[in-house]
């Protein structure tokens, strides 16, 4: 799960993992260009990962989480930041 969605500045990834493992989070722009990548340790059960999206341009993005042999994907919208 990605929340909040749409995103203005930061968002959280809620991950329910079946086992503990190192994971890789990749974020891609609409044209498939990678705009963000980070490694994180995911524990068995519920996890929350915070992502700072302040520098992302407004638009549609896909999130890819890879851990173990699992790949999960989701979408979010980055809106204009309200200052």
Residue 62 has phi, psi (to 5 degrees) of: -115, 145
Peptide bond preceding 9: is omega within 30 degrees of 0, i.e. cis? no
Whether 48 and 36 have beta carbons less than 8 Å apart is answered as no
Q: What is the pLDDT of residue 79?
A: 93
Which of 19, 15, 23 is closest to 74 using CA atoms? 15
Q: What is the pLDDT of residue 81?
A: 64
Nearest-angstrom CA–CA distance, 11 and 28: 15
For the entire predicted model, the pTM comes to: 0.89
Q: What is the pLDDT of residue 83?
A: 57
pLDDT digits (tens, 9 = 90+) for 33-67: 999 999 999 999 999 999 999 999 999 999 999 99
Q: What is the pLDDT of residue 80?
A: 80
Residue 9 has phi, psi (to 5 degrees) of: -130, -50
For residues 22-36, give the mean pLDDT: 96
């Amino acid at each position: 799960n990605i929340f909040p969605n749409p995103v203005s500045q930061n968002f959280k990834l809620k991950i329910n993992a079946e086992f503990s493992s190192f994971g890789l989070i990749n974020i891609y722009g609409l044209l498939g260009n990678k705009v963000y990548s980070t490694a994180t340790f995911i524990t068995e059960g519920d996890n929350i990962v915070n992502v700072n999206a302040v520098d992302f341009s407004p638009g549609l993005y896909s999130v890819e989480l890879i851990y173990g042999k699992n790949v999960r994907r989701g979408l979010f919208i980055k809106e204009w930041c309200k200052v």
